[in-house]
Chain A
Amino acid sequence: MRLAAAANEAYAASLAVSELLGCQQCGGGRGQDEELGIRIPRPLGHGPSRFIPEKEILQVGSEDAQMHALFADSFAALGRLDNITLVMVFHPQYLESFLKTQHYLLQMDGPLPLHYRHYIGIMAAARHQCSYLVNLHVNDFLHVGGDPKWLNGLENAPQKLQNLGELNKVLAHRPWLITKEHIEGLLKAEEHSWSLAELVHAVVLLTHYHSLASFTFGCGISPEIHCDGGHTFRPPSVSNYCFCDITNGNHNVDEMQVNSAGNISVSDSFFEVEALMEKMKQLQECRDEEEASQEEMASRFEIEKRESMLVFSSDDDEVTPARDVSRHFEDTSYGYKDFSRHGMHVPTFRVQDYCWEDHGYSLVNRLYPDVGQLIDEKFHIAYNLTYNTMAMHKDVDTSMLRRAIWNYIHCMFGIRYDDYDYGEINQLLDRSFKVYIKTVVCTPEKVTKRMYDSFWRQFKHSEKVHVNLLLIEARMQAELLYALRAITRYMT
């Protein structure tokens, strides 16, 4: 039952991490749940996402035929309808591709045994202390017959998986440091060695779950009911979390806050959208006129890259890593922020020399057939997804904005497009948006509702989810590119 307790504590910790609204607001919220010896599972009040009001989110039962089919698929594949699905269904086209890919990665034929796949998912999610995903996959892992002992820490897992720990760490936080030596170390470890196909499967899983962790925090996905107390395990030690968080006691408070904030800044944020549209139009028109010199272009990239290191929310509180989740990785101190503080230099990766479409795809599809195709489709859908709307405006060509977001994320990872003017990023993405992107992509565990609310205030929630999709896919592609380039270098 240690596991169960662990899951609870992990949840508690995740709430602490997310430092949502603190417990000061509900004062005497504690102690209510001591009345019964047994906790009865009940649906939590605030819906699938802590950031998005429940009424904004599609209710199960009111979906259209296409969405219904998606829900059915999701339910058939996973045996549940998780909150990620419920939030992603804002964009059914993407969700379909996402579910198909995830289903293939976890359940269809592949080089890795099923319990390995879930364990790798746990490892990856744990890097970002994403207790939501960890809990989900702990269940799945046990369900497919995984050894519960492994869950006590990476050191209890087979040597082979332990070897993967280093790659997981680097991939999650500093993918540009991956070298062919990492790959060689995994492939040539005598009886614990990985095969190339297994490694590619593992890499795809790792990147998938790193970016999914970003999504989970970026959209404030709520814990699943069966993961945080739905079971009949002994009453958790409730001392360190606030009941109001679970029962959503501060839902109202929350809304009031938003409203009050909204009232003040409604006119502001209205102009924000207008200004953004204006800028896009300008860029579109004057692109041909003022042609920046080559040096200028290069320096713009460097500036953006350097700045992206410094963009961080000021509230940089030291969060104690959740004890129970962290058991899956040895080195909690190894994170993205370390290097940004020390101003480490990120080398430039030229996408024209190694890109997903030409190189990455071929390699993945060769070693893990069909997955290249699925991921390629997913990237395409995420990159090209548009409804031609922006907040209250219709018929807007958002391709420029989407490209700016995508390239900004790749820029943070040192990936440069020769044919992109990085000056555009500065014009289109304001600071609060950059802070959000940066946090979601690099240190997702630190995303707060304040951050989520403070960017693009006039935009719809579905658009914010759309942004998140771009973020996670761009991140996944960036990590994949580095990992696959290392594998290619190893092979040649």
Chain B
Amino acid sequence: MEKMSRVTTALSGSALTGRTMHCHLDAPANAISVCRDAAQVVVAGRSIFKIYAIEEEQFVEKLNLRVGRKPSLNLSCADVVWHQMDENLLATAATNGVVVTWNLGRPSRNKQDQLFTEHKRTVNKVCFHPTEAHVLLSGSQDGFMKCFDLRRKDSVSTFSGQSESVRDVQFSIRDYFTFASTFENGNVQLWDIRRPDRCERMFTAHNGPVFCCDWHPEDRGWLATGGRDKMVKVWDMTTHRAKEMHCVQTIASVARVKWRPECRHHLATCSMMVDHNIYVWDVRRPFVPAAMFEEHRDVTTGIAWRHPHDPSFLLSGSKDSTLCQHLFRDASQPVERANPEGLCYGLFGDLAFAAKESLVAAESGRKPYMGDRRHPIFFKRKLDPAEPFSGLASSALSVFETESGGGSMSWFVDTAERYALAGRPLAELCDHNAKVARELGRNQVAQTWTMLRIIYCSPGLVSSANLNHSVGKGSSCGLPLMNSFNLKDMGPGLGSETRLDRSKGDTRSDTALLDSSATLITNEDNEETEGSDVPADYLLGDVEGEEDELYPLDTEHVHPEEPEYVLPQEAFPLRHEIVDTPSGPEHLQDKADSPHVSGNEADTASLAPVDSSSSLLSVSHALYDSRLPPDFFSVLVRDMLHFYAEQGDVQMAVSVLIVLGERVRKDIDEQTQEHWYTSYIDLLQRFCLWNVSNEVVKLSTSRAVSCLNQASTTLHVNCSHCKRPMSSRGWVCDRCHRCASMCAVCHHVVKGLFVWCQGCSHGGHLQHIMKWLEGSSHCPAGCGHLCEYS
């Protein structure tokens, strides 16, 4: 029955021989093959076996070979091939194991010529000899390959694949006697047709079945194979051992592979499952397909180049019951859609940037970062400049380095390592952390810790000397505190000026103006009246029963001494306030030397308490109370944490969160906490602070975070003798039955932590080695190596 073929996508048809078109078949196709004259194509499938003529505008059905009343399984084709020498000769492989040949020259309606029923299982592939008229080769599921002479009734020779199913057989185009066969277990074999007893060569090409192979039409000995492991590999068979030349990773298992005529490095592939497109790859560029045909709606089962010397016409058959002719110029080119630029930050602030060469050349005059050094540019040159996309494919990689030390995050690492987060009373933790921060020159942070301690612990324990010390140094505090680039790159003057403006604006619009000036006055008063020697018993709080609103006095008393210490020492008073952190009312006084500071603080949220406190200051600074319920501060602490987090110092936020635990947790919503935790953990891991990050994970209360270290807890180890993975247990190898890791000290198997010297690779139990090293620095195994452990 004749079917009208439908023509789609009529694109400016300047080509003389045809255009992109498709026609509907009655049934899914399993394979297609092209006649020598490039004008006819045969389509075969379970219930279809037809020849179509390829005309200018459409496919025309020419012949239906599926004749007879009852459809026989012999006609259920798994593969079809058209002889390349004789245009009347075809062969099909049937799913029931029969190989059938067809002679189109027969006068009757039934063109069936010969029937070979020697295979016991499905025949997967048939292949004619490229030059010999009567030689046909078949490969079957039963593990045999058979060579037939069409002049005889049965096979000439049988080749055994040792009961592994054969998926593909292909005669070499150049070597008269050679053929390749691929197997379900991943092997590829090379046979000499004259020697059926054993194969010439065998190698493992893929992991899992090799579905297809194709000899290169020109390069002798180049074989492309495609497998279920989603790879296409190109092998050079001329050398002593088959050498893998190229490897293309596709997104689905590879069902067919065909070299593109006249293009030495191109091949077309289609996949067995999931992916319906046909790709044409340049094997030297294995990541982006050179061209892509997206016409099919179901998996493509057969592809064939229309003419052995014309690279622009590709025919394909599909499970969606269509036969397509694709024109290369109509193909979509994923390269065009790909983003050719890449940008990535390194661990230490280095920046790598890759882009098209032309693009970089144009802009190379401009330097993105002042003071950054440019590394040499690496060019990746194509081997063959005549390739169409050589221009596209060559790119430049630039690496920008930040000034050494400038972006240093050593404070972060030190802090992370030295902070104590749990396991001691809160007061001790705070003191410890304050000390750590101070030693690193981060006085704001130190101060914050001290204040937290005052807030949450019994105030009697605070030694004012300690306090003074930290506060006093606070104003000399460092720029290193917070995030690096922007702040630093900004001129100091500019930075402070903008701040100044803003804070002034704030102050003006606020009633705080008066208050802050009042503060100023009070402070000055304090300085004058109280002097430097604030007695320690200030803080002992003799007025315990005081009301809430009196609390500021306490905080005030912490501070009065500090401006006096600080101000004379500081040469650049304005500078540090930019990065200052208003974690509590104390800060107000800390920087009370200039009016804009309080405004600055006000805009970072601790406005209300500060104001109230300062207004009260002048009135009743003699009263102080240190026994306010910590709840009172929770708002402040919360704001302080938010402030730190927004400043980029998520470390502080998380550390405080962990140290204070229940005291503040309820005030901060779960999501924010989780966000902080994950950012901090991420940062820690970037700095390889695995132990710290694990501790943080452990101490976190958020469920989403604490489950982080419960996933992927498997550790894979290889045997030290046979280098195979030890799958069952970590300390004994299944294959060589040896215990892999013996302790050099006690000579027992190490089943837990194993430490070893990377110089001589001897090692053992952690404790044993540590003990040993106390006494001797030589290797306990007696190899004479001076072991080094970090």
Q: Which of B96, B272, B728 contacts A358 (CB 8 A)?
A: B272
* Residue A419 at the chain B interface, CB threshold 8 Å: yes
A491 to chain B, nearest CB (A): 7
Residue pair B729, A72 in contact (C-beta under 8 Å): yes
B482 to chain A, nearest CB (A): 38
Inter-chain contacts of A240 with B (CB < 8 A):
none
Q: Which of A291, A353, A366, A492 contacts B276 (CB 8 A)?
A: A492
A376, B184: Cα distance in complex, Å: 12
Q: Which of B69-77, B352-360, B642-650 contacts its partner?
A: B69-77
Residue pair A352, B78 in contact (C-beta under 8 Å): yes
Inter-chain contacts of B122 with A (CB < 8 A):
352, 418-419
Give A393-407 interface residues, CB cut-off 8 Å to B: none
B239 to chain A, nearest CB (A): 31
* Residue A62 at the chain B interface, CB threshold 8 Å: no
Residue pair A419, B120 in contact (C-beta under 8 Å): yes
Give A237-256 interface residues, CB cut-off 8 Å to B: none
* Residue A297 at the chain B interface, CB threshold 8 Å: yes
Residue pair B73, A294 in contact (C-beta under 8 Å): yes
* Residue B95 at the chain A interface, CB threshold 8 Å: yes
* Residue A73 at the chain B interface, CB threshold 8 Å: yes
Q: Which of B73, B272, B320, B737 contacts A362 (CB 8 A)?
A: B272
Q: Which of A361, A363, A418 contacts B96 (CB 8 A)?
A: A418
Q: Which of B141, B184, B252, B298 contacts A492 (CB 8 A)?
A: B298
* Residue A93 at the chain B interface, CB threshold 8 Å: no
A298, B74: Cα distance in complex, Å: 12
Inter-chain contacts of B70 with A (CB < 8 A):
294-295
Inter-chain contacts of B728 with A (CB < 8 A):
69, 72-73, 76
Give A334-356 interface residues, CB cut-off 8 Å to B: 350, 352-353
Residue pair A352, B712 in contact (C-beta under 8 Å): no
* Residue A109 at the chain B interface, CB threshold 8 Å: yes
Give A446-492 interface residues, CB cut-off 8 Å to B: 488, 491-492
Interface size in chain A (residues, C-beta < 8 A):
31
Residue pair A362, B228 in contact (C-beta under 8 Å): yes
Inter-chain contacts of B253 with A (CB < 8 A):
358, 362
Residue pair A488, B46 in contact (C-beta under 8 Å): no
A480 to chain B, nearest CB (A): 14
Residue pair B273, A287 in contact (C-beta under 8 Å): no
Inter-chain contacts of B95 with A (CB < 8 A):
350, 352, 418-419
Residue pair A357, B184 in contact (C-beta under 8 Å): yes
Inter-chain contacts of B298 with A (CB < 8 A):
492
Inter-chain contacts of B72 with A (CB < 8 A):
294
The 0/1 profile, CB within 8 Å of A marked 1, for residues 54-97 of chain B is 00000000000000001011101010000000000000001111
Interface size in chain B (residues, C-beta < 8 A):
40
Inter-chain contacts of A366 with B (CB < 8 A):
252, 273-274
A73, B74: Cα distance in complex, Å: 49
The 0/1 profile, CB within 8 Å of A marked 1, for residues 221-262 of chain B is 000000010000000000000000000000011000000000
Q: Which of A109, A287, A297 contacts B711 (CB 8 A)?
A: A109
Residue pair B120, A287 in contact (C-beta under 8 Å): yes
A294, B94: Cα distance in complex, Å: 12
The 0/1 profile, CB within 8 Å of A marked 1, for residues 306-335 of chain B is 000000000000001000000000000000
* Residue B532 at the chain A interface, CB threshold 8 Å: no
* Residue B3 at the chain A interface, CB threshold 8 Å: no
Inter-chain contacts of B46 with A (CB < 8 A):
350, 352-353
* Residue A359 at the chain B interface, CB threshold 8 Å: yes
Q: Which of A73, A291, A294, A363 contacts B274 (CB 8 A)?
A: A363
Give B23-75 interface residues, CB cut-off 8 Å to A: 28, 46, 70, 72-74
Inter-chain contacts of B714 with A (CB < 8 A):
108
Give A39-74 interface residues, CB cut-off 8 Å to B: 65, 69, 72-73
A446, B28: Cα distance in complex, Å: 42
Residue pair A418, B73 in contact (C-beta under 8 Å): yes
* Residue B209 at the chain A interface, CB threshold 8 Å: yes
Q: Which of A72, A108, A297 contacts B73 (CB 8 A)?
A: A297
The 0/1 profile, CB within 8 Å of A marked 1, for residues 284-323 of chain B is 0000000000000111000000000000000000001000
Inter-chain contacts of A358 with B (CB < 8 A):
209, 211, 228, 253, 272-273
The residue on B at minimum CB distance from A297 is B73
* Residue B158 at the chain A interface, CB threshold 8 Å: no
The 0/1 profile, CB within 8 Å of B marked 1, for residues 401-435 of chain A is 00000000000000000110000000000000000
Residue pair B96, A419 in contact (C-beta under 8 Å): yes
A233 to chain B, nearest CB (A): 31
Residue pair A362, B252 in contact (C-beta under 8 Å): yes
A163, B111: Cα distance in complex, Å: 54
Residue pair A298, B73 in contact (C-beta under 8 Å): yes
Inter-chain contacts of B273 with A (CB < 8 A):
358-359, 362-363, 366, 488
Inter-chain contacts of A357 with B (CB < 8 A):
184, 209, 228
Inter-chain contacts of B74 with A (CB < 8 A):
294
A492, B734: Cα distance in complex, Å: 44
Inter-chain contacts of A352 with B (CB < 8 A):
46, 76, 78, 95, 122
A418, B96: Cα distance in complex, Å: 5
* Residue B117 at the chain A interface, CB threshold 8 Å: yes
Q: Which of B97, B184, B272, B734 contacts A69 (CB 8 A)?
A: B734
Inter-chain contacts of A363 with B (CB < 8 A):
273-274
A358, B184: Cα distance in complex, Å: 10
A362, B253: Cα distance in complex, Å: 7
* Residue B382 at the chain A interface, CB threshold 8 Å: no
Inter-chain contacts of B712 with A (CB < 8 A):
109
The 0/1 profile, CB within 8 Å of B marked 1, for residues 69-100 of chain A is 10011001000000000000000000000000
* Residue B751 at the chain A interface, CB threshold 8 Å: no
The residue on B at minimum CB distance from A350 is B46
* Residue B121 at the chain A interface, CB threshold 8 Å: yes
Residue pair A418, B274 in contact (C-beta under 8 Å): no
The 0/1 profile, CB within 8 Å of A marked 1, for residues 101-124 of chain B is 000000000000000010111100
Inter-chain contacts of B78 with A (CB < 8 A):
352
Residue pair A359, B729 in contact (C-beta under 8 Å): no
The residue on A at minimum CB distance from B230 is A362
Give B692-728 interface residues, CB cut-off 8 Å to A: 711-712, 714, 728
Residue pair B272, A359 in contact (C-beta under 8 Å): yes
Give A295-328 interface residues, CB cut-off 8 Å to B: 295, 297-298
A294, B73: Cα distance in complex, Å: 6
Assuming the contacts A69-B728, A363-B274, asked whether A492 and B120 have C-beta atoms less than 8 A apart, the reply is no
A106 to chain B, nearest CB (A): 14
The residue on B at minimum CB distance from A295 is B70
A223, B257: Cα distance in complex, Å: 54
Inter-chain contacts of A350 with B (CB < 8 A):
46, 95
A485, B3: Cα distance in complex, Å: 30
Residue pair A419, B274 in contact (C-beta under 8 Å): no
The residue on B at minimum CB distance from A66 is B734
Inter-chain contacts of B272 with A (CB < 8 A):
358-359, 362
The 0/1 profile, CB within 8 Å of B marked 1, for residues 363-390 of chain A is 1001000000100100000000000000
Q: List 28 A-B contacts (CB under 8 A).
A: A65-B737, A72-B728, A72-B729, A287-B120, A288-B117, A294-B72, A294-B96, A350-B95, A352-B76, A352-B78, A352-B122, A357-B184, A357-B209, A358-B209, A358-B273, A361-B228, A362-B273, A366-B252, A418-B73, A418-B76, A418-B122, A419-B95, A419-B96, A419-B97, A419-B121, A419-B122, A488-B274, A492-B320
The 7 closest A-B pairs by CB, nearest first: A418-B95, A362-B273, A294-B72, A352-B95, A418-B96, A362-B253, A419-B121
What residues make up the interface of B, taking CB atoms closer than 8 Å to A?
A: 28, 46, 70, 72-74, 76, 78, 94-97, 117, 119-122, 141, 184, 208-209, 211, 228, 252-253, 272-274, 276, 297-299, 320, 711-712, 714, 728-729, 734, 737
What residues make up the interface of A, taking CB atoms closer than 8 Å to B?
A: 65, 69, 72-73, 76, 108-109, 287-288, 291, 294-295, 297-298, 350, 352-353, 357-359, 361-363, 366, 373, 376, 418-419, 488, 491-492
Given A359-B273, A362-B253, 17 more pairs with CB closer than 8 A: A72-B729, A291-B117, A294-B70, A294-B73, A294-B74, A350-B95, A352-B78, A352-B95, A353-B46, A358-B253, A358-B272, A361-B228, A366-B252, A373-B208, A419-B122, A492-B276, A492-B297
